[in-house]
Amino acid sequence: MSYAQCLRKAGLPRDAVQWLHSLHLSFHPRNVRRDFSSGYLVAEIFSRYYPQDFSEHSYDKGTSLSAKQKNWSQIERSLQKQNMHLRKEVVEGTIHCKPGAAELLVQEVYTILTNRSIRGVEGPESDFTDQDYQELLPTLARSTASKAIKNNLRITEIMAKPDISTNQRKAEVILHRHLEHKATERALNPGRFKRKPNLGQLAAKRLLPSSQDNKCFDSPSSRATTSKLCSSSTCSGAAVSFKEIKCFYHHVWTMPVCTSRWQLGVMSRVLNGF
């Protein structure tokens, strides 16, 4: 496989591939995510346009985290002299070899140095996760919760910021996003997960018209005479018989027939209160 084919396979646009090939770099980046993480190639690219500010001999080709941080901090200082800057989240994603970060970095460098934008390429979201790759896989081959945390929280991130609470929050965000995708898969494919509908989904919901709902209640101003109640078939659907009870206060109450001992006790206390 040729050098240009490797770069196109890595997700770089054709214009960026041809531009990198014309710079005649010291070595050809076969793996964009790995080769651009150290920052040495980025400094070499800028040295073609600004040789006085970017000296190739002052940058380290090492792949350790300390070498990467040293190179990128030096690149940032040199860019400030030229009133140029790269997005911090893109640089951080490139250092930690996040998916899609190095490709987006190359496009930004291409736009800064050539003053040309790549047509037909939309800027991806800056979360830099492997979600796009996971969606291409079959369901059985997708990552579990622990694998998702391992893929999206690199060991270099923990080494760069060893704060326990910060790394814990990052792991919680990754886990929450993974559970959301799993819930979406269960909703879209309930047969595979043997998901059974609950009682609320199985029950037939029959709503009464608004005209019948108003028949079940009466205004509180009609207590002088017999209150108007709904028929058993309209309101509750159960057979409940009613009778009138006359009190010595000449109030006419409409009460249901009591059948249990508890209801009889309540009725006797109510009547004795009068």
Dihedral pair phi/psi, residue 254, rounded to 5°:
-110, 110
Give phi and psi for 181, each to the nearest 5. -65, -35
Residue 215, CB half-sphere, CA atoms under 13 Å: how many? 12
Q: What is the pLDDT of residue 47?
A: 93
> Is residue 95 within 8 Å of residue 69, measured between CB atoms?
yes
Q: Using one digit for the tens of pLDDT, what is the confidence trace for 135-147? A: 888 888 889 999 9
pLDDT of residue 230: 41
CB atoms within 10 A of CB 85: 12
Question: Roughly what angle, to the nearest 10 degrees, separates helices 145-152 and 164-188?
Answer: 130
Query: Hey, what are 81's tokens?
Result: 């002299």
Average pLDDT along the chain: 77
pTM above 0.75, yes or no: no
Are 155 and 97 spatial neighbours (Cβ–Cβ below 8 Å)?
no
Tens digit of pLDDT for each residue in 60-95? Answer: 988 899 999 999 999 999 999 989 999 999 999 999
Residue-wise pLDDT tens digits, 182-225: 888 888 887 777 767 777 777 766 666 655 545 444 444 444 44
What confidence score (pLDDT) does residue 228 get? Answer: 43
CB count in 10 Å sphere of residue 119: 7
